Structure 1
Amino acid sequence: MSALPAQAALTAMMRQNFSLFLMRVFKELHAGAQPLELAWYLEAICHALVEASAEDGARLVITVPPRHLKSVAALVALPAFLLGRDPTRRIMVATYSQDLARLHATQSRAIMQSAWYRAMFPGTQIADDGNRMLETVTTCGGGRKAVSVGGSVTGHGADVIIVDDCLKADDARSEAKLEEARAWFAGTLATRLNSPGGGAIISISQRLHEYDLPAMLLESGYRHLCLPAIAERDEVIPLGPKRRHQRKVGDLLDRPGVTREKLEADRRSMGAQVFSAQFQQNPVAPEGNLIRLEWFENYDEEFEREDFYRIVQSWDTGLSDEPGADYSVCTTWGY
């Protein structure tokens, strides 16, 4: 097979397969870097993103640890891919800051202006007056609109809304910031769908707080693709129409360079509570992972053994302060 037909076949595959398209986007954004390794978790994210964006009425939450390429996949590559296949679609992407919104908009626009993209999707062209800082408009009337939390979206509608980290980690303990993100999404962003109740809304982020935006969306019935750094249960994760990944308790996400030892070092340096939220996607209350003395009570009467699932005894075999007086203390509790 000559080089030309092989390249044509690869282009055709990337036009249909978002995972392969993401690899090409990564190469464009990181010229000179090692090619992107398509780990299974990236295939899972790509499959979930494309499946949701093609389903009218789809509501999806993806939670994944930081630095796992979620923003490049969802905010940079996906809009370009969707507009390449249908330049009439209107896509709105939201993040917590204007700077991030500008960065991702610039990257996505650079992809759409590249020679390989224009050759792959010749029917998708940016309009002469549609090349703006936070908005890219195609000649067919579709496009990508970037917004940040608190910003105005008046006059703009969307077929697909993509939300990426509407709260930065430093603001996770601020009740005001938590409420601002939740209220802005519910009262502003979610109302911009061109088809109320239809379209698609996709949230992709790390968890930061038990009452963050993903928590609100999950309570509303959104589907959930949860990808903790270390698996906490056995599950089967779709990678494509006929492909699955079987994940076992204790399995890592297989991101290159991330080892069990590195994750344990992260846990020690940031603390169990932050690690549980950002890496395990399981946020707990500030005192939710501590044993507090007031939870325990004293009882004079004896209880029957069958009243408890398990009986635990804790022994303190230390010495009394009084010379020659030894003692042992036994604490017993059941649950």
Structure 2
Amino acid sequence: MPRATAVPPAAAVPPVTPPAFADFAQSVYPFLELQPFHRVYYRVLEAFAQGRIRRLIVTMPPQHGKSVGATTLLPAYLLGLDPDCRVAIASYSGALASKFNRRVQRILDSREYGAFFPATTIKQGTRPPSYIRTADEVEIIGRRGSLLSVGREGSLTGNRVDCFILDDLYKDAMEANSPLVRANCWEWYTSVVRTRMHNRSRELIVFTRWHEEDLIGSIAAREPVEMLHSWAQLDAPPREGWLHLNFEALKASPPTELDPRAEGEALWEQQQGAALLAAKRRLDPLQFEAMYQGHPTAREGLLYGLHLAEYDALPREIVRRASYTDTADTGDDYLCSLAYVVDVDGLVYITDAVYTRDPMEVTERLVAEMFLRSDTRQAAVESNNGGRGFARAVQALAPDVRVEWFHQSGNKEARILSNAATVLHLVRFPRGWALRWPELYGHLTTYRRTFRANRWHDAADVVTGIVEREVVDRGRKRVRGVRFL
């Protein structure tokens, strides 16, 4: 509801204690239902508004409220804290940027906003006549502050910007996957956005990721980007680099102070639950990792991609039933154990899997149960990083299985890359394995040729180990150093 009269210049208005950003948001938008992650998000945005963070990147899944917080409510809050602040909003189109601007103006017009920030007022109708108020630009009466909106590749000639908010500079996957669009976006950012900034300017980039070489990826390749995990980082942000807050739709990374969810827990269960997200992941693991997890991967740089073979039924003649296990090296790694059979032609059929970051006392039981369920006769366990003790524990739980431990001394990168073609040629997974083991499926199908670009190597390491044992070592004597329990 518009305020009845324009408020005098700020010098005539007594100071008002500013509210917390989350309280402000719920006052001007009473329909908001803030989830725990929203409160974390808004607290980080408040630190940005206060100037404690100068350069901030926020990534989160679609339809989770990123634009409401960063591009609608935050500009109004910024202008309330500092009516002299020159704020600019940019998006993939001028029409969308103008839409954000109009939403902010409606907040600035409201009585609720006036109660919080009486010094920040804008033109009402034709009064005062000397001030600008359009869909793309509005000025604060009696102060130097303003709000400007612009589409990607739009002009900002002559406009100095104190705070820039860039929200979704790519319309869709087609744009983000276009090298030409990405190059034009980067050129616009460096030649227009950066040239409007000064020493104290702030930047907020809030995106749903589409491609590893989008604007965020291009910045990360050239400037320091520090992942935001604890509240203490807000008090000591990087002087020249960026803080990056990423919300995964399904929790996959270790719990942090800002995101303490358990593995597999949905970010907003009531809006997009774990079951729905798992179905989206199955449709396109690569797109899901980018848009919903914030970990984009270029399809052209994949090692296996979607070329891993599948089977409908096991072969009639089976010459060997075995398994291969790689225990977790660190707390962030996965234990990967694959049971398989080998036919007379040397083809390998994966029959069962344990792929988890559960603690060893849990995985020992899970792997032993898999051995019994799959009728495994011979099990190989890498002895690196506690594998020897793991092998002994599993042997005690599955005494009829011949468990062996061995030290893997080969270079992991060289082994995985050099055996990739053999994996694609010989290894088969059961049809529908994306449903049975979605994380295993996702990590193998999105595994990169550029070794250091991968976060997890566990699944690729195990399928590599299987073909090494069944192809490279088969026909030789058993590798020296292997011990049977």
Instruction: Give the shorter-chain TM-score range.
Output: 0.7 to 0.9
1:149-171 CA distance string (max 9 Å, x none): 11000111111111111111131
Would you say 1:275 and 2:295 are equivalent positions? no
Give distance in 2, aligned partners of 1:176 and 1:63.
23
Would you say 1:263 and 2:263 are equivalent positions? no
Structure 1 counterpart SS, 2:158: coil
Q: CA deviation at 1:38?
A: 1.2
Q: 2:121 corresponds to which residue?
A: 125
Whether the 8 Å contact between 2:264 and 2:274 is mirrored in structure 1 is: no
1:176-234 CA distance string (max 9 Å, x none): 111111111111112212x23x3211101111001001112233122110111011111
1:84/1:156 Cα in 2 relative to 1: closer, same or farther (>3 Å)?
Answer: same
Q: Which moved more, 1:124-133 or 1:144-153?
A: 124-133
User: For 1:172, which of 176, 179, 193 is the aligned residue?
Assistant: 176
1:292/1:229 Cα in 2 relative to 1: closer, same or farther (>3 Å)?
Answer: closer
Would you say 1:231 and 2:233 are equivalent positions? no
Q: CA deviation at 1:329?
A: 4.2
Whether the 8 Å contact between 1:95 and 1:147 is mirrored in structure 2 is: yes
Would you say 1:151 and 2:165 are equivalent positions? no
1:334/1:168 Cα in 2 relative to 1: closer, same or farther (>3 Å)?
Answer: farther
Would you say 1:250 and 2:267 are equivalent positions? no
Identity %: 28
Whether the 8 Å contact between 1:311 and 1:334 is mirrored in structure 2 is: no
- Bigger radius of gyration, 1 or 2? 2
**1:16 aligned partner, one-letter code:** P
Give distance in 2, aligned partners of 1:76 and 1:315.
57
**1:168 aligned partner, one-letter code:** K
Q: 2:230 corresponds to which residue?
A: none
Q: CA deviation at 1:237?
A: 3.8
The size of the alignment, in residue pairs, is 286
User: For 1:160, which of 144, 159, 163 is the aligned residue?
Assistant: 163
Would you say 1:55 and 2:58 are equivalent positions? no
Q: CA deviation at 1:334?
A: 4.1
1:149/1:312 Cα in 2 relative to 1: closer, same or farther (>3 Å)?
Answer: same
Structure 2 counterpart SS, 1:16: coil
Q: CA deviation at 1:53?
A: 3.1
1:294/1:19 Cα in 2 relative to 1: closer, same or farther (>3 Å)?
Answer: closer
Q: 2:210 corresponds to which residue?
A: 208
Q: Which moved more, 1:129-138 or 1:280-289?
A: 280-289
Q: 1:320 corresponds to which residue?
A: none
User: For 2:185, which of 141, 158, 181 is the aligned residue?
Assistant: 181
In the superposition, the TM-score normalised over structure 1's length comes to 0.77
Whether the 8 Å contact between 1:105 and 1:135 is mirrored in structure 2 is: yes
1:49-70 CA distance string (max 9 Å, x none): 2212323771111110111111
Structure 1 counterpart SS, 2:467: strand
**1:232 aligned partner, one-letter code:** A
**1:291 aligned partner, one-letter code:** Y
Q: 1:7 corresponds to which residue?
A: none
Q: 1:192 corresponds to which residue?
A: 196
Whether the 8 Å contact between 2:62 and 2:208 is mirrored in structure 1 is: yes
In the superposition, the TM-score normalised over structure 2's length comes to 0.55
Unpaired segments ≥5 residues, structure 2: 1-15, 225-241, 309-328, 330-335, 349-425, 427-465, 470-485
Q: 1:333 corresponds to which residue?
A: 467
Quote the RMSD (CA, aligned, Å).
2.8
Q: CA deviation at 1:37?
A: 1.9
Whether the 8 Å contact between 2:61 and 2:292 is mirrored in structure 1 is: yes
1:293/1:132 Cα in 2 relative to 1: closer, same or farther (>3 Å)?
Answer: closer
1:273-305 CA distance string (max 9 Å, x none): 11111001111111455517999xxxxxxxxxx
1:255/1:333 Cα in 2 relative to 1: closer, same or farther (>3 Å)?
Answer: same
Give distance in 2, aligned partners of 1:105 and 1:182.
23
Whether the 8 Å contact between 1:44 and 1:237 is mirrored in structure 2 is: no
Q: 1:305 corresponds to which residue?
A: none
Structure 1 counterpart SS, 2:68: helix
Q: 2:69 corresponds to which residue?
A: 73
Give distance in 1, aligned partners of 2:347 and 2:287.
35
